[in-house]
Structure 1
């Protein structure tokens, strides 16, 4: 049937036979001119593609597609991008604006002042794409973004999926973190006092890891800061003294460390950094802190009031990811360190065989880590 025979019937012509009548009816010179006008960027003159007059559409596309900094860098490297002439910085290219927009959506970036953001940018190399890459790398290091419940001796800690911390139970040493010594029979939200400990600071600690000792507690924030509170006996809070802290306090000695894991014992605390280094502080009884050994010429039972790098684990040349220790400083206190390759190291008291390694005659503890013959990978 001829396509022109009836106006009521739909055409069955293949799509590749349809002619672009708009261009077919004009001269080749006019065709070239019209095609030249069909581009996305430039001055918003009549005949141009609407994106030129609405750069926010391009920005929305770039930011809503979850592009990573490398994608934005490849986009910018593929062609010379002129300043987008778009707020908040009219000199930024579209890829830089997209990176800045994605940074603005991060909870850790929002509370920063304009000066802090600019300083952050300079420290990251002067590019918002590098800032975004830094923030995303930090987010990737957070291994826990789910609810948790920790049963401590006499008190309990619960963490919501959004990082809010609730405590309840015994509070004779301020271990609930509410600024008093009153017991709580119902879960009560901990309200943090903001502390400018690092450049990436927010008004609240967003907890991702929590640990409850007998008389103290600790959390690791999403930005890598460590807060401790409760009874500081033997220096287990890491603040350089043995004072009690009834509200969470940032461990300033770890301000240059991005923590990813924390573990607490009776009067001991261990922190693991994103690089796999281990820091410990508190009571050194039974050599369970892993440093100040006889080999180093010091008293291996000495108390440590501020975080110290566990050099004995550093010498293992393995990245540590988790620490587990007994909730007692007396008699049988010991510690396990797990590497990312699944190797297990033990140190501390081993008189009951709890280290999983054989001690020599008359030996009841081990001050340096020794590998346990088990593969946990």
Structure 2
């Protein structure tokens, strides 16, 4: 603590001595100029004294702090701090588009003012080979779901294969209706019936859930081949606050799409703390990067605005998910040491105003060089 005041006193003394030498040298030069102007020759003593003053002045200059170098260091330090801040500070939110394959996922549906219908496309009907619904509290017809379990299977059609109108023996899922203004959570995973993969959809909410199916029934005399003329579609409806659907596609059906353009408030790609992602890509907007998703990657997403499930389908025994988050406030990849995927301020500037940023930096450098040159002269 004592070294700082003594160092400052030493610098002040050196500066005072240097200023005194400069004043003496200026006075001597003034006198020599007057002698030359009046026609007198400078005396050797005066010239020797001037030379001595120059030598002492140069020696004392080395003791004076280099103000120009100190200013350059300060400017360089400020520029470094600004650059580090631009690289470290993340945007508060960023848009996200995710396309991935997973074994399961969970999400909460956004409450709406109208009845939510699943599948998500208007008029879409899912045709499946088998549909099993558990947790049924009420059914129509009343005997359709004994013990709270409904099982519908596609019929075997052995009629005339040359008929113009083909008979579709599949089980039809018309809609899963969710009441407006209620909270619903959805848990989706892969289900199996033997070696046939299907969708296991568990829907739980604060209001009853209603599902409407259609199955092919025989209306003719028993024992006759099932054809268009002696068959009809019977509608079966089930209700319950917690319904679990197991849907198995037909053999030739490549894609079983259930959710399309569905608004959600939260999503989780994990089960019992373990990641369920198999592969995929996460594209971060506003200057962010594209990240490849690998098995065991834990992706955490939270958004200030509703997220959209663009499409969720079963394909090749895996869940295909296409999702968008317009303002992802939390975007991390990893479990133990998660990586923040939101772009930095520097990435955001380079993405939106690359030319303007280059011009601003060039102008700042040119201004600093001009001021520095003016200071030197």
Same fold by TM-score greater than 0.5: no
More strand as a share of residues: 2
Taking structure 2 as the reference length, what is the TM-score of the superposition? 0.18
Greater gyration radius: 2
More helix as a share of residues: 2
Task: Choose between structure 1 and 2 for higher RCO, CA contacts under 8 A separated by at least 6 residues.
Answer: 2
